[in-house]
Structure 1
Amino acid sequence: MEPHALRELLAPLAVPHALASLAHFALTVDGYYAEDFVLCRRNDHRLRQYSTAAEFAARLRVFGQANEDGSEYALRGIPGWAADDLPVVVLGDEGGLHPVAENSVEFLRFLAADRSIGVSRERVWLTQDELHDDSPGHPAYAHWLELHFGCELRTAEGVLARAEDRFGEAVRAFAAKLASS
């Protein structure tokens, strides 16, 4: 995805620096650099499955494919928060709205695990089969992440746990409120 397309996709939210940098990186690598993840424009079908309330779509800005089943990653807009501080959530293909990263830099760390994600109404988990090979662009991604963000790689499970601890209750309350409207 071209960086200008990401700006259009996330508007009216500003694009977090980490996601803007990722859009530039994605143009330099062929194929996946993180299992099943693609920055892409979606048709908001998944959002409409959850709620038709305008506030729901306004607060969730989908920016990428989370897995091949149709789950999607989104920024959760919080009034008054800087774009770089917004949490990243996943909208499950079979239901469920869950935090996956405290912010976009943590999301980049999460992607560095190079694993697919499973999502249900109740939980989110990482999957990996025994025959898993690194995504073709993963070595370049890991190098880029270290070079541009000085990130030490953390476990994706740790990133998920911190996001759940910080935002889980608020995300569930947000989803429940809007699902009933």
Structure 2
Amino acid sequence: MNSTMVKQEFTALFKGYKIPKELKSLLEFQVSENIPSYYSNAIYLMTEETSLIENYSTDEAFLKAFIPFAEANSSGSIYAFWIQNSEEDLAKAPIVVFGDEGGIFVVAQNIQELLQIAAYDVEAVVYEDEFYFQDKEALEEDGEFTAADFNMEYLDWLRSDAKLKPILTIDDVDALVDEAQANYQENLEQYVKRFI
């Protein structure tokens, strides 16, 4: 598939909302010839619609409240923007993860934070009742960590193009996630309860 088609399909996911500039830039990076495979175990932009959110609810209001845009792990969990009102600027919208086996959790307060977390290069673990990023050092000790092929290039892109500082320790990842959850998780749970 050529990059023009990929960009058109990616744009279609956003239902008319303006795509944050960081995501447009990341898509350019992802489709470039220099990046033929994964650049982070924590994120990979999708170009096709997913029906995962419909597994939670098929209510139109619920489906309109979330815009899925990226894979969160290798088992099928996805990231989505949570739109709390129709005027929302996606660059300021919180990011949630939908688990492939259940569970909806706030991950980051905005797309910039998610891109910083993705620098850590560890996929999200999502269960029905918990969500977290694993400790990379512990995974390495157990021989269970494989860095994404183009993670160094992603770090360069993050610093130079997105002008964001990579988050490279589990403590810093946890701190960002904890803050986002403190601000949004309870509201998200109350919102989801209306539909499920």
C-alpha change, 1:144 and 1:160, in structure 2 (3 Å) is same
Report SS of the residue matched to 2:195: helix
1:20 is aligned, of 21, 24, 29, to 24
- Report 1:66-85 matches (<5 A): 66-79=72-85, 80-85=87-92
C-alpha change, 1:43 and 1:8, in structure 2 (3 Å) is closer
2:112 is aligned, of 95, 105, 113, to 105
Tell me the equivalent position of 2:194: 177
2:171 is the alignment partner of 1:158:
no
TM-score by length of 2: 0.84
Indicate if the aligned counterparts of 1:100 and 1:107 stay in contact, CA closer than 8 A: yes
Tell me the equivalent position of 1:122: 129
Alpha-carbon displacement from aligned partner over 1:112-146 (angstroms, at most 9, x marks no partner): 11001111122211134332232111000001101
Higher gyration radius (CA): 2
Tell me the equivalent position of 2:56: 50
| Structure 1: unaligned runs, 5 residues or longer | none
Alpha-carbon displacement from aligned partner over 1:86-123 (angstroms, at most 9, x marks no partner): 11110011111111111111111011110011111222
| Structure 2: unaligned runs, 5 residues or longer | none
2:41 is the alignment partner of 1:35:
yes
Indicate if the aligned counterparts of 2:66 and 2:83 stay in contact, CA closer than 8 A: yes
Distance 2:62 2:117 in 1: 25
Cα distance, 1:37 vs structure 2: 2.9
**What RMSD in Å do the two structures reach over aligned CA positions?**
1.7
Indicate if the aligned counterparts of 1:111 and 1:156 stay in contact, CA closer than 8 A: no
2:80 is the alignment partner of 1:87:
no
Tell me the equivalent position of 2:155: 142
Indicate if the aligned counterparts of 1:35 and 1:114 stay in contact, CA closer than 8 A: yes
Distance 2:72 2:60 in 1: 23
Indicate if the aligned counterparts of 1:36 and 1:68 stay in contact, CA closer than 8 A: no
Alpha-carbon displacement from aligned partner over 1:53-91 (angstroms, at most 9, x marks no partner): 101111111112111211111111121321210111100
Cα distance, 1:36 vs structure 2: 5.5
Which shows bigger deviation, 155-164 or 68-77? 155-164
Aligned length: 179
Report SS of the residue matched to 1:149: coil
Matched residues, percent identical? 23
TM-score by length of 1: 0.91
Report SS of the residue matched to 1:99: strand
Distance 1:51 1:107 in 2: 25
